[in-house]
Amino acid sequence: MLLLVDLDGTVWRGRAAVPGVPELLTERAAAGDVVVYVTNNSTRHRADYMPRLAAIGAPADISRIVTSARATAVHLASLEPRVDRVLAVGTPGLVAELREVGLTVFPAGEVADTITDGALRVAAAGDPQAVVVGLDRGFDYGRLAVASACIRAGALFLATNRDPVFPTEYGFVPGAGSIVAAVEVASGVAPVSIGKPGPLLLEVAADAVGLPLDGAVVIGDSLQTDIPAAHAAGVASVLLLTGVTTVEHLDELPASQHPTAVARDAAELRAVLARLAG
């Protein structure tokens, strides 16, 4: 089976592994399953995850880590007519992923500081054919102005993901979706969003290992992202109650939005996967 596995709240919580999950994934991989990690996080190059996965004993292979940054880059590189020049609102990790697929990338922060006129902004931003927006902790009025000017001038608008917030040890902080919303309002254009809950991240992940998405199983802890992405892609899903979701959250949802199965921990996940493998 192709297992499309979320990271935060599923494989790890903060620095610590979710007990038993790395071992279970290693066991499934040894039995022939293909494990691909799918995360909405847009801030890091996927290489950054390798030491973390290795440290907790989870299967680690860079070609099987698909972040929303990587998926956005791969999706952009596949478009016809061809996109060569991209304005990026995001981190150095996002810029690195976009450059790695051959795109010429103009970081919005480098463009924004010196220019005040809208038309000049578009030229100074390299007249991009696409604008990519992810989480950007340095986001400000200048970057908003440059990004929205380029979109108004006709550039495609892609969001890495639309997570409004994400959890940290200090509570919830603004996610990429909060920044995407600002660009959407300023440009008057709705983006194509690559991350979960849409199906595109999962499609890029299946392509990355040359397998059909058909028959894949999504494993994740979020009823806002993981499970609706599985529904959008038409594949099975397992909700792990090791992260942001409790049984009470599940009870509030209509049956049509429920996962295929629910697992409270790694032991229950082992039994569910054995059953799905049938």
| Residues belonging to the active site | 6, 8
Instruction: Enter the tokens of residue 56.
Output: 């907790």
Query: For Mg ion, which is the closer residue by CB, 41 or 187?
Result: 41
Residues 164-223 that bind Mg ion (CB under 5 A): 221-222
Nearest residue to Mg ion by CB is 9
165-168/171-174 β-pairing: antiparallel
Rounded to whole angstroms, the Cα distance separating 145 from 119 reads: 11
What number of other Cβ atoms are within 10 A of residue 169's Cβ? 6
Residues 234-263 that bind Mg ion (CB under 5 A): none
Exposure b/e, 249-272, CB count within 10 A at least 16 = b: ebeeeeeeebbbbbbeebebbbeb
The residue from 3, 4, 5, 9 that contacts Mg ion (CB under 5 A) is: 9
- Report in angstroms how near the CB of residue 168 gets to Mg ion at its nearest: 13
Query: For Mg ion, which is the closer residue by CB, 125 or 230?
Result: 230
Asked if residue 6 binds Mg ion (CB under 5 A), the reply is: yes
Rg (CA), the chain: 19
Piece of 8-16, 30-38, 59-67, 252-260 that binds Mg ion (CB under 5 A): 8-16
Instruction: Enter the tokens of residue 216.
Output: 């894949």
Residues 12-31 that bind Mg ion (CB under 5 A): none
Query: For Mg ion, which is the closer residue by CB, 91 or 222?
Result: 222
Residue count at the site for Mg ion (CB under 5 A)? 5
Query: For Mg ion, which is the closer residue by CB, 9 or 93?
Result: 9
Rounded to whole angstroms, the Cα distance separating 77 from 71 reads: 10
Whether the CB-CB separation of 72 and 132 falls below 8 Å is answered with yes
The residue from 1, 3, 4, 8 that contacts Mg ion (CB under 5 A) is: 8
Burial class (CB in 10 A: 0-12, 13-18, 19+), 114: exposed
- Report in angstroms how near the CB of residue 218 gets to Mg ion at its nearest: 11
Residue numbers at the binding site for Mg ion (CB under 5 A): 6, 8-9, 221-222
